[in-house]
Amino acid sequence: MAYFRIACLSLLVAAAAHAENEEAGRTRAQVCAVCHGQFGISVDPAAPNLAGQPAAYLVEQLRNFRSGKRENPVMSVIAKPLSDEDIDALARWYASIEIEVKQP
Amino acid sequence: MAYFRIACLSLLVAAAAHAENEEAGRTRAQVCAVCHGQFGISVDPAAPNLAGQPAAYLVEQLRNFRSGKRENPVMSVIAKPLSDEDIDALARWYASIEIEVKQP
């Protein structure tokens, strides 16, 4: 029973950290909204929608922009000062936005 | 009146060509579905959702993969043989899939 309680507590702590991380990402994403929209739906035809993108994909792309492996006049500047924590938080925030596709 | 009819006819022809282009893209996209899903919602955490992405963004990225400006082990191979028409058709197809975001 004690193990079960510890396991539950660990899950709760992990879930709280996850939510906190998402919230941090939401705050950091304010500058991104200029091109990618308030909820990750792009307001610029040259910028992709980020809402509902897989977090792993977003992390990889932000790291690539930061390192210079992927280049874009705006994103190369934006990504430069981001820490790994910033990148994780941003990725979690955008991945947390649910999207629904209407079958064409 | 004649000008109006010609204008209407031109619009109809353009709309038909647009729809045909989208349909061609849908057919070409069958191989993309392996990672990006049947309707552009990714089934691989390393691959982005393409449903509802701006066509201009998709065209630019496919051209970048084709030219080598953007690199990815899978996409660099996939994009290599694509013609400009293939790229336009694929971009139109994915851009035509409507998505809805649920406000978080």
List, as one string, the DSSP characters of B26-73.
Answer: HHHTTTTHHHH-TTS--SSTTS---TT--HHHHHHHHHHHHHTSS--T
Tally of CB atoms within 10 A around B39: 19
Query: Is B65:A70 a contact under the CB 8 Å cutoff?
Result: no
Tell if the pTM clears 0.90, that is, is over it: no
Query: Is A99:A51 a contact under the CB 8 Å cutoff?
Result: yes
Chain-chain contact of B40 with A101 (C-beta, under 8 angstroms): yes
ipTM field: 0.80
- Selecting from B26, B47, B100 the residue whose C-beta is nearest the C-beta of A99 gives B100
B chain contacts of residue A96, beta-carbon cutoff 8 Å: 104
Residues B88-98: pLDDT tens digits? 999 999 999 99
In which residue are the tokens 């006049």 written?
A73
Q: Hey, of A22, A38, A49, which one would you mutate to test binding to chain B, going by the most B CBs within 10 A of its CB? A: A49
CA A68 to chain centre: 19
Least confident of A37-41, A53-57, B12-16, B53-57: B12-16
Q: Looking at the complex, report in whole angstroms how far the Cα of residue A23 sits from the nearest Cα belonging to chain B.
A: 11
Q: Looking at the complex, report in whole angstroms how far the Cα of residue A60 sits from the nearest Cα belonging to chain B.
A: 8
Q: With a cut of 80, say whether residue A20 has pLDDT above it.
A: no
Q: With a cut of 80, say whether residue A98 has pLDDT above it.
A: yes
A chain contacts of residue B46, beta-carbon cutoff 8 Å: 54, 56-57, 60
Report residue B86 as tokens. 């293939």
| Helix, strand, or coil (residue A100) | strand
B chain contacts of residue A53, beta-carbon cutoff 8 Å: 42, 48-49
In which residue are the tokens 């924590």 written?
A85
Query: Is A89:A24 a contact under the CB 8 Å cutoff?
Result: yes
Chain-chain contact of B49 with A96 (C-beta, under 8 angstroms): no
